[in-house]
A and B are shown apart, each in its own frame.
Chain A
Amino acid sequence: MAIKETMTVNMGPQHPSTHGVLQLILELDGETVVKAVPHVGFLHRGVEKLTEYRSYHKALPLTDRLDYLAPMSNNLGYVLAVEKLLGITDAIPQRAKVIRVMMAEVTRIKSHLVWLATHALDIGAMTVFLYCFREREMIMDLYEKISGARMTSNYFRVGGLSLDLPAGFEQDVKAFIDSMPGHIETYEGLLSGNAIWKRRTIGVGHISAADAIDIGLTGPALRCSGVDWDLRRDNPYSGYEEYDFKVITREKGDTYDRYTARLDEMRESCKIIQQCLDRLEDGPILADVPWVCLPPKKDVLNSIEALIHQFKIVTEGFKPEPGEIYQGIEAPKGELGYYMISDGSANPYRMKVRPPSFVNLQALPQMIEGALLADVIATIGTLDIVLGEIDR
């Protein structure tokens, strides 16, 4: 009887295509993966623990650092969760809601661009990488204009926004979404019809709908297995119910489907952003809830009451009544959930983040076992994981 020997390969945490510090212990029989064991936690910073020692306002910058490719989505989830905990969801002004949706969709495009760039690079198409980063740079510029930071924006606030839009911002966004469909066609021109790309992606990393639900896949990965589920439509938040957009689904659940679906999602995001621009009206950007929101800066500089008000909120924070809530949003990578418990003090008693990448990564072993080594790379790419969010 022939003895079958397998080779154990340690892939990562320093490996160019594990998208950060993911470690995979692969057991290979030739080029075929027999077993894959992911190890995570190399980037653990204790975000959940840290929030317990900060007031609600001060915990907000920590959320930027979870999924650092989609900071505004994380901010949005957090502020919505805190607003729900406070019970002030209805007090958020319309303008703030619209800008939140707009920036969340811009962030979705940003995140998907990085996904496409790295996914294509992993499979070997390196030109797409730079094209995507060129467009991402435009989004970075938008970020910088609106918040002063290119990546960790920290733009949303509990109760609204930190600042109003700068002058001319609508035109910049408009120019961006007008150019984006053409750019998406460029990517498609380089990849969609390419025989090698198709052979590398069709049928690779397949997962069925039942398995996907069982393992907890969310976002594009779940929708491409044929489950029509999008929190923006099913449990709308921040006024998503007012927008007209399609939820992109696919049936086959393979890497190629997830690729085309994400491209379509970028197109849909452009449409939503256009609707946001149409809806943008002048108005306040911060809820009229003085015990939560900071007073306008102009008043702080001119009146003693506003100064005291600001001082109280910055030093003491606000104290939601005891209770617990769960707020899930449709982040670019899947369902981003915040489970928050208040004990009536100014700090969150417990904040649990449900990071989409963490759960999506769990599906990796069953998607790649029996596949080839090159498929591992393609599947990691298609799951669109960010280790900052997995390890927290």
Chain B
Amino acid sequence: MPEMLSLSNDPILFIAVMLTKILSVFIVVVLIVAYATYAERKIIGRMQTRLGPTMTGPLGLLQPIADGLKLFFKEDIIPSQASKVAFVLAPMMILVPAFITVGVIPFGGDIVIRGYTVPLQIADLNVGILYIIAMAGLGVYGIVLAGWSSNNKYSLIGGVRAAAQVISYELAAGLSIVAVFMLAETLSLRGIVEAQSGSILNWYVFSQPLAFCLFFITSIAEINRTPFDLPEAETELVSGFCTEYSSMKYALFFMAEYANMVVIAALISTLFLGGPAGPFPGVINILIKVFGFMFIFIWMRATFPRVRYDQLMFMGWKVFLPLALLNIVITGVVIIL
């Protein structure tokens, strides 16, 4: 095994490789985000006996670009009663954590460049999972700020709902993956992927099915997707926290939502489905898994009604949290035995 590439042994190559990785990951994520909107419209359209976008370019493939352009040229309205700094800051505070979370997700195995090993991961933090949970926690500040600073009652309700929802589901989500790193004995995502390597049966989805289900459901709640899209429930709160937003700021919320979907899909694939493991080259494997999960998210949106606020809280605190704790206890007992 050749030496790991680092800043000390070949600084120029290291920086070049790092920039390449960051840029390519960023571009890929942005592209996925853009085309996730297209995919969502197409898939839901087909499920609802519609066609989805067809007019912009072949098969409507230029639709995300047209949407982006349109939003870019829209008037940027800041309500006169809004708290301006927070109002401008909020969309960025949602988008940035969503994007930088991608940094710790391994998207392939190691490759060798000029005699050095290069991991296909931007940063291999030894506290990778904690980092992701922390970033997810930061994202909610954006929603709360957006809801509060708009000076709109619907937005405020949306923001408060988001705060309560994310806090309670973060607990259950965090606790449900405790069992995973109890098994892997590391917090590094790379380490978790390595612990699942070898056979498909080593994937934690088989040894931790309960944790998988819990994390899947609570993650959907954390990224405010249907059926847990209460903060922006358009039929109750008229889009909730983003009611007052327009133009690019609105687009940032939208991008953040889809970026979060990508991150969560990648995270579930990494934690439970062996990350880049699979029959194809690593990057393709993880993309397949990510797309699979995103399809399920979209499918759920087409199928499920929205839960009610009290039911959401009930499920979070009285169902998912005890189940996650129970799962930790069982895992612990099994490990000790």
Contact = CB atoms under 8 A, between A and B. Distances in A.
B235 A196 contact: no
Interface string B287-304: 000000000000001111
Contacts of B48: 126-127, 129-131
B307 interface: yes
Contacts of A28: 157
A17 B49 contact: no
Contact of A124 (B238, B306, B309): B306
Contacts of A9: 153-154, 157
Nearest to B315: A199
A7 B153 contact: yes
| Interface residue tally on A, bucketed by range | 20 to 34
B139 to A, nearest CB: 22
Contacts of B44: 126-127
A11 B327 CA distance: 43
Interface in B39-55: 44, 47-50
Interface string A176-205: 000000000000001100101101100000
Contacts of B307: 196, 199-200
Contacts of A15: 238
Interface string A97-141: 000000000000000000000001111111101110010000000
A196 B49 contact: no
Given A17-B235, A374-B236, A377-B236, A125 B304 contact: yes
B98 to A, nearest CB: 24
Interface stretch (B102-110, B226-234, B275-283): B226-234
Contact of B234 (A16, A120, A127, A375): A16
B308 A131 contact: no
A375 B153 CA distance: 18
B10 interface: no
A338 B139 CA distance: 58
B157 A127 contact: no
Contact of B304 (A121, A194, A376): A194
Contact of B305 (A125, A130, A134): A125
B309 A194 contact: no
Given A120-B305, A127-B48, A374-B233, A196 B227 contact: yes
Interface residues of B, number: 27
B304 to A, nearest CB: 6
A188 to B, nearest CB: 14
A16 B235 contact: yes
Contacts of B303: 125, 127, 190
Nearest to B314: A199
A268 B301 CA distance: 32
A199 B236 contact: no
Interface string A206-227: 0000000000000000000000
Contacts of B50: 130
A328 to B, nearest CB: 33
Interface in B127-173: 153-154, 157
Interface in A1-54: 7, 9-10, 15-17, 28, 31
Contacts of A123: 235, 305-306
Contacts of B153: 7, 9-10
A124 B235 contact: yes
Contacts of B199: none
A359 interface: no
B304 A200 contact: no
A163 interface: no
B80 interface: no
A129 B48 CA distance: 9
Contacts of A199: 307-308, 311
Contacts of A375: 308
Identify which of A125, A126, A200, A372 gathers the most chain B CB atoms within 10 Å of its CB: A126
B49 A373 contact: no
A127 B236 contact: no
B3 interface: no
A130 B50 CA distance: 8
Interface in B192-243: 226-227, 229, 233-236, 238
A126 B305 CA distance: 8
Given A17-B236, A121-B235, A126-B302, A131 B49 contact: yes
B308 A374 contact: yes
A131 B304 CA distance: 14
B75 interface: no
A127 B302 contact: yes
A124 B234 CA distance: 9
A370 to B, nearest CB: 13
Nearest to A15: B238
Interface string B3-25: 00000000000000000000000
Identify which of A123, A124, A129 gathers the most chain B CB atoms within 10 Å of its CB: A124
Contacts of A197: 305
A31 B306 contact: no
A31 B311 CA distance: 12
Contacts of A129: 48
Contacts of A372: 308-310
Contacts of B233: 124, 374
A385 B182 CA distance: 56
18 contacts: A9-B153, A9-B157, A16-B234, A17-B236, A28-B157, A122-B235, A123-B235, A123-B305, A124-B226, A124-B227, A124-B229, A124-B305, A131-B48, A131-B49, A190-B303, A194-B304, A197-B305, A376-B236
Interface of A: 7, 9-10, 15-17, 28, 31, 120-127, 129-131, 134, 190-191, 194, 196-197, 199-200, 372-377
Given A17-B236, A31-B309, A190-B303, 13 more contacts: A16-B235, A16-B238, A122-B235, A123-B235, A123-B306, A124-B227, A127-B44, A196-B307, A199-B311, A374-B233, A374-B308, A374-B309, A377-B236
Nearest 4 pairs of A and B residues by beta carbon? A124-B306, A130-B48, A124-B305, A125-B305
